[in-house]
Amino acid sequence: MFGIKISTLKYLFIACALVLFGCKKQSKSTIPETHKAVAATPLKYAKGFSVTNYTGYKVLEIFSPWPESDQSFKFALVDKNSPVKVNVKQTEFNGIITVPVTNIVVTSTTHLPALDLLEASDKLIGFPGTDYVSSELIRARIDSGFVKELGKNEGINTEVLLSLNPNVVVAFGIDGNNRTLETVSKANIPVIYNGDWIEESPLAKAEWIKLFGALFGKEAEADTVFNTIETNYLNAKAIAATVTEQPTVLSGAMHKDVWYLPSGTSSEAELLSDANVNYLWKNSTGAGSLALNFESVFTKAQNADIWLNPSYFGSYSDLKAANAHYAKFEAFKQKHIFTIANTQGATGGVLYYELGLSRPDLVLKDLIKISHPELLPEYQPFFFKPLK
């Protein structure tokens, strides 16, 4: 898969003969600029990126860096251990990255689990908002001074980032307008926009670990990690499918005058469907969240059996203090509200916002345990805990 084709070797041998001693003077041979792909990294669910293997290098393409994007990005990942000298044109790519990368900057906590899962946490040298990091391995590196604070994500400290001179920056974009990252890119530091968060399914989001596998030269490890997550997820889904009774589910809470909850076409709604529950807005459509008023939510979900993730509230008293009308829901009265807010790292970061995207198998098991506790008698919820 990563070796040299026999036909390519013959070409190189003939080329050496033609230039007499040219090949003897260099330890690596040069391959033609036009050649065919050897293979592609297999992706089962993710649609936002691809990795195509060529002799001595790979091409990483990002198709969906942010919602409704009309831009795509292409990077050459050149293997520093390749037996051939790779000749790629700078003008054809948004960046050329020597792999395996030895140091990296990422800009979202959702990128950190991939480093842990691939045993590459020691490659992280900078991060914006280190106080929000929950990973024990990366927290230890932060506390030891190996990971530099880069400020806030909206205004990364460009001077510090440039001084670190990482092999690559893995970022996320809302609309592609980020002057800081433009400056970094102009300084010849490749910036990869990670679009995992806009994938349509939980497993598609988790499969972006294969992008990090390509960067760190750990494709096999990334495959193994993802296959394990996928197997766990599908096994849990199959278990949930055996029950016939579906509890009704409400999600979210008010933010100012708007109640935000997942649309029926979101990955969150897919998780609820795979947990075999009756999510009350499962038939709705739209990208991301629905924005509703209190009255419409109360009318539909007053008698819901379960209420999930009521914003940042960690207790019934806090929830009621924010809005007395919350106490009118049956799930409030029956104490059937579950939150992610109370599962935090050492510095107060909500663990779900860091690890949940990478571990949909754990999220699904949590939902099954809450909705059908008899199905997973020994399992203890990882993210979702009862409201205090």
CA dist 193 and 305 (Å) reads: 40
Q: Which of 54-68, 103-117, 157-171 has the lowest mean pLDDT?
A: 54-68
- Sequential DSSP letters for 196-219: GGG-SSHHHHHTTHHHHHHHHT-H
What confidence category does residue 194 fall into, taking pLDDT thresholds of 50, 70 and 90?
very high
The residue count of the chain comes to 388
Q: Which of 7-21, 25-39, 133-147, 330-344 has the lowest mean pLDDT?
A: 7-21
Per-residue pLDDT, 319 = 96
Mean pLDDT of 141-151: 96
Mean pLDDT of 73-89: 86
Kindly report, residue by residue over 200-222, the tens digit of the pLDDT. Answer: 999 999 999 999 999 999 999 99
Per-residue pLDDT, 36 = 62
Q: Which of 27-41, 73-87, 175-189 has the lowest mean pLDDT?
A: 27-41
Domain boundaries 6-228, corresponding CATH code: 3.40.50.1980
Q: Which of 2-16, 37-51, 253-267 has the lowest mean pLDDT?
A: 2-16
Higher pLDDT, 68 or 313: 313
Per-residue pLDDT, 196 = 96
Higher pLDDT, 360 or 7: 360
- Fold match between domain 6-228 and domain 241-386: yes
pLDDT at 280 over 50: yes
134: nearest Cα among 121, 153, 150: 121
Kindly report, residue by residue over 346-378, the tens digit of the pLDDT. Answer: 999 999 999 999 999 999 999 999 999 999 999
Per-residue pLDDT, 53 = 92
Topology of the domain covering 241-386:
Rossmann fold (3.40.50)
Mean pLDDT of 135-146: 97
Taking the domains of the chain in order of start, what are their residue ranges? 6-228, 241-386
Task: Find where tokens 């933010």 sit.
Answer: 255
Q: Which of 7-21, 163-177, 271-285, 358-372 has the lowest mean pLDDT?
A: 7-21
Average pLDDT taken over every residue of the chain: 89
356: nearest Cα among 110, 189, 80: 110
Number of Cβ atoms within 10 Å of the Cβ of 116: 17
pLDDT at 3 over 80: no
Kindly report, residue by residue over 284-334, the tens digit of the pLDDT. Answer: 988 778 999 999 999 999 999 999 999 999 999 999 999 999 999 999 999
Structure token pair of residue 60: 């990483």
